[in-house]
Amino acid sequence: MRAVTIRDEQLSVEDHPDPEPGSGEALVRVRAAGLNGADMMQRAGGYPAPPGAPADIPGLELAGEIVALGPGADRFAVGDRVMSIVGGGGQAELATVNERILMPVPDDLGFVEAGAAPEVFTTAHDAVFTQAGLQTGERLLVHGAAGGVGTAAVQLGRAAGARVTATVRRAELRDGVAALGAEVIAPEGFGEHGPFDVILELVGVINLIENLRSLEIGGRIAVIGTGAGATGEINLGLLMGKRARIHGSTLRPRPLESKALTARAFERSVLPLLVSGAVHVPIAETFGLEDAVAAYDRFAAGGNLGNIVLEMPQ
């Protein structure tokens, strides 16, 4: 099979042996795979794959068709359309995935959209709802809302009946995010638009102080991105006075049991919204597998509204 390959922080597309499904696994012929920030970090040598995932093939989400089943795998059948988060190895023509984290692809959802949905929507739903407990009528602030996770969080918040505010640095992307259901503002002075019950932090520590100041009493801050810095000072008195919570989260290194729980939450809460059209997967651009280097460069250049996706040869 052909696969995106990272060697010594350099990216290429190379031949690899076809993987074989183990116990409880399915072999998926990948049709599309989204690019994520973690792939960029792995390319730069800063985010190695967790144990059990291919060390040299990136890709945290995929969609395709099951072509073989390993021993004991019976949740799906050969030929079923599926999508999933994976610890790595998604950007390849074939991938093995434990059946417990596979999810069905609805008939009306194309492979490009399905290949860019699992990671961003699972991450957003887990942070905003499972961990931060966003409720109908509350106010949600999404920082860095033009990317894949940001656009997913905006839509999920709106669908849940929350009032959503989004910070977007690039002015040319603000109308696109606003169309997803948010009041869109520049990052500077965002606290003036509060108070907020839940803040999804996708940018980093530069927002920490103003995040705390703009929280409603009992507010929650979910930190899932630190590209603009990870280390800073916190005023514990302010945290205490707001009776606030700050928690951080990553998805990739979680054990199988934890990932399976997020997959079931996706099936219950996100999949029906995708089927009904209440939310959708914004696609910034698609590239063929052999053009993976160009796709990564496009991601790194920024200015993307939504997701960049690799399409595999048919």
Domain membership flag for residue 274:
no
Give the per-residue pLDDT at 47: 85
Same domain, 23 and 97: yes
Give the per-residue pLDDT at 95: 98
Give the per-residue pLDDT at 314: 79
Q: Distance between alpha carbon 108 and the CA centroid of its chain, in Å?
A: 21
Same domain, 162 and 110: no
CA distance 74 to 55: 28
Domain membership flag for residue 254:
no
Give the per-residue pLDDT at 33: 98
Pairing state between β 81-85 and 102-104: antiparallel
Domain membership flag for residue 211:
yes
Give the per-residue pLDDT at 306: 86
Give the per-residue pLDDT at 167: 98
Domain edge (last residue) among 201, 231, 248: 248
Domain membership flag for residue 199:
yes
45: left (phi over 0), alpha (psi -120 to 50) or beta: left
Same domain, 236 and 193: yes
Instruction: Supply 301's token pair.
Output: 């250049």
Domain membership flag for residue 32:
yes
Give the per-residue pLDDT at 297: 96
Same domain, 76 and 22: yes
CA distance 145 to 134: 17
Same domain, 19 and 99: yes
Domain range for residue 239?
120-248
Q: Please give the model's pTM, rounded to 2 decimal places.
A: 0.94
Domain membership flag for residue 257:
no
CATH code of 152's domain: 3.90.180.10
Same domain, 46 and 152: no
The total domain count for the chain is 2
Same domain, 44 and 81: yes
Q: Please, what's the largest Cα pairwise distance for the chain?
A: 58
Residue type, 128: V
Q: Which residues of the chain have pLDDT under 50?
A: none
Instruction: Supply 20's token pair.
Output: 């074989």
Same domain, 154 and 228: yes
Same domain, 158 and 238: yes
Domain edge (last residue) among 248, 267, 292: 248
Q: Are 200 and 140 in contact (CB under 8 A)?
A: yes
Domain membership flag for residue 253:
no
Q: Are 198 and 134 in contact (CB under 8 A)?
A: yes
Give the per-residue pLDDT at 190: 97
Same domain, 94 and 165: no
Q: What is the DSSP string of 60-72?
A: SEEEEEEEEE-TT
Same domain, 210 and 236: yes
Same domain, 45 and 104: yes
Give the per-residue pLDDT at 91: 98
Give the per-residue pLDDT at 228: 81
Domain membership flag for residue 265:
no
